[in-house]
Homo-oligomer: A and B are copies of this chain.
């Protein structure tokens, strides 16, 4: 399944040959069919497997955190990047994106198992900030959640598509970008409102 994930992510489902998956996995084509009844089922298994891994991350980090919500968001993003973004599993996002329309049930599954829980996690985080008076109460929670998440996902997508093709990646330091992105969202871009002592 690791071999399949790699190749599906790199080449796309249709362009990946079963022989290549088998070869990379170090088994014969026949063996693959011993465990997965078809190429399509292999895809589904790969996705199910990787999503279940992905999902388990998250909630425990949040539960007992003590510090400010700003710190918490940095921590959550950092942990996610470490456990997902930097691993092979980061490819799953490209795979889903690529194959969603060809296998709509995958999209359903991904929505239920990743998008929904993910949105809920971030939304709760934001709510925590609002409740504690750290964040503006006028925030649109869902939109804000997307502003947080989307760039992180783009990092994963980029890593598995254009990234490897370019000599100088678009960001030479993803961790720095993530920290900066979150800080940016928290503080905003605009210059300090003049004489006010300081905010962050």
Contact = CB atoms under 8 A, between A and B. Distances in A.
Interface residues of A, number: 70
Interface stretch (A10-18, A22-30, A57-65, A78-86): A10-18
A22 to B, nearest CB: 16
A53 interface: no
A15 to B, nearest CB: 4
A144 B184 CA distance: 8
B98 A161 contact: yes
Interface string A179-197: 0110111111111111011
A166 interface: yes
A188 B191 contact: no
Contacts of A140: 176, 180
Interface in A5-55: 10-15
Interface in A91-140: 94, 96-102, 104, 107-108, 110-111, 115, 119, 126, 129, 133-137, 139-140
B102 A135 contact: no
Interface of A: 10-15, 70, 94, 96-102, 104, 107-108, 110-111, 115, 119, 126, 129, 133-137, 139-140, 142-144, 146-147, 150-151, 153-154, 157, 160-162, 164-166, 170-171, 176-177, 180-181, 183-194, 196-200
Given A101-B164, A185-B188, 6 more contacts: A136-B191, A137-B191, A144-B184, A146-B181, A154-B154, A186-B189
